[in-house]
A and B are shown apart, each in its own frame.
Chain A
């Protein structure tokens, strides 16, 4: 390569690096603040991890712990106090229960729908599909109130059902899977029929395994959206702290009599974010590997 080309490549990389920094910066701040003491955070000093001086934390003492218990390094304090003040494992578990239930039911609904829309010929199919597309246009917030009223009438407010039920039919999922199923050759389905599979067996035993890459893409959308969702849980979980999802849990650290305690707050946010990032990394690998359709062509 000539020097000129290096410069051209260099520009591209410089721009990409700047973009990456912009995206990474909030995460850097989050991790950094979860490790530092309150004074270092407020004075914006101490670099990534701060001085880590052992000290006694006043808010902790005020909460009623002995001074001895409240003396430790800032990073220990932040994470210890975050878990002490709020039942974070419980919130994480709620997050897992809710997002997984939503995802599993979404798949149970979307796959047969998508299969029917993509591969079966029936009267009104195009109309049904256009209704699916139409539903993509409805914003969640527009129908939040009627949904809430319906759940309230059914006595479901403050239950897991309230968190899960409204999201079980994902039009986006139906649309995405339908587009993927369109690419699966008809002959594969015919072969399965000749082998004696029924239509449901075809969905779960033939279409599902070939659709793993598309399903993973959908899983990422679905899980991230509902793990991070603040709006809906805030609406339907009115009193029961045991049902708080992670984003609601973080709110525990906001304001109040003790003023804002950024350290433990950021520590809790790190705890809530890490599972998602780990899930992402695992899924990404499968994403690339995928199950290709090469066996059929």
Chain B
């Protein structure tokens, strides 16, 4: 149905550069997440796509048409806001009708009372009603149509806001942290509903969030932004497994990736603490950051040249997993290790443990924070 391309988008407010030469191509039917810590410019980028904000330089193309000079309402996009932004004085039905009325009725038909004399209005009203009813059935809000937004719960308001975006059948949905006002359980539930909705609508979703879990669970591709720069744009799995830089690696994944100080010798062989990775890095004779995700470490009884030891500072039991926050012996690092409950339930705070790597996985980053590849397997 459509594509959106952003070409060399930059935005500055006064002397502050918020977005730095971004290029993104969004494919038809894609669920693209813009993710990054707060203040990284992701919302600004979304508002530029929407036309609510003007970029300082660069082009926005919708369906290969340049829309730099096209007003927000004429770009045929719909937006869902964090605070839902429903009209508080109108019923749910009227909230859903509003975008359709503004699009379908002409100026005369919108007039109160005399507008009803227009011959074509009746037909349009009928089709508006049908669309509203169809949408509210899809979202299961039919019984709420006569209420005011103030009488709805957070989740219901969320649905209505979605409905108001859906009725127009736009080229793309733009969502600005739509789930962050919901409680944790509902948020997880709405994630799956949004994914289902996306599957059935097959329209572009551009979804802004600071929650990397939302990005990982829902998107077909995710764009990681930090400080106005687009650091990586790829599928969630690829971003998780193959982060392009240290910042991306640290941002994506919960609990956070463990970073060890390591070195490579003149032959490129990498080691950290007392552990030798037995793998070679492309950069030799230098200090490196070695990233190992919590699930790639485990607590073991062995004690040899492949293990290192530490003391459990805090035990975080999530039921399915237990995460151990461990102080490394030499005091340099605090790391997180995942343990399976059936093997580690007897380990308590304060006990000393040996830790080994699982499946040889590790990520290398140089001093500048850029990814360094291993040269051998």
Contact = CB atoms under 8 A, between A and B. Distances in A.
Given A190-B52, A194-B77, A195-B73, A210 B99 contact: no
Contacts of A206: 87
A126 to B, nearest CB: 15
Nearest to B73: A196
Interface residues of B, number: 30
Nearest to A195: B99
Interface in B305-342: none
Interface stretch (A216-224, A237-245, A268-276, A288-296): A288-296
B148 interface: yes
A188 B72 contact: no
Interface string A58-79: 0000000000000000000000
Nearest to A189: B85
Contact of B88 (A192, A197, A296): A296
Contacts of B83: 185, 187-188, 296-297
A210 B81 contact: no
Interface string B70-98: 01111001110111111111100000001
A14 interface: no
B24 interface: no
Given A196-B103, A206-B87, A295-B88, A191 B81 contact: yes
A291 B89 CA distance: 7
Nearest to B110: A201
A209 interface: yes
Interface size class of A (residues with CB under 8 A): 20 to 34
B102 A197 contact: yes
Contacts of B50: 190, 194
A240 to B, nearest CB: 37
A212 B88 CA distance: 12
A122 to B, nearest CB: 14
B84 A296 contact: yes
Nearest to B86: A295
A191 B79 contact: yes
Given A190-B79, A193-B52, A197-B73, A291 B88 contact: yes
A187 B148 contact: no
25 contacts: A185-B83, A188-B83, A190-B72, A191-B164, A192-B87, A193-B52, A194-B50, A194-B79, A196-B73, A197-B102, A209-B89, A209-B90, A210-B88, A291-B88, A292-B88, A293-B88, A294-B150, A295-B86, A295-B87, A295-B149, A295-B150, A295-B157, A296-B84, A296-B85, A296-B86
6 closest pairs, A vs B, by CB?
A295-B149, A295-B88, A196-B73, A209-B89, A191-B85, A196-B102
Given A197-B102, A295-B88, 17 more contacts: A185-B85, A187-B81, A190-B50, A190-B79, A191-B85, A191-B86, A194-B79, A194-B99, A195-B98, A209-B89, A209-B90, A291-B88, A291-B89, A292-B150, A295-B149, A296-B83, A296-B84
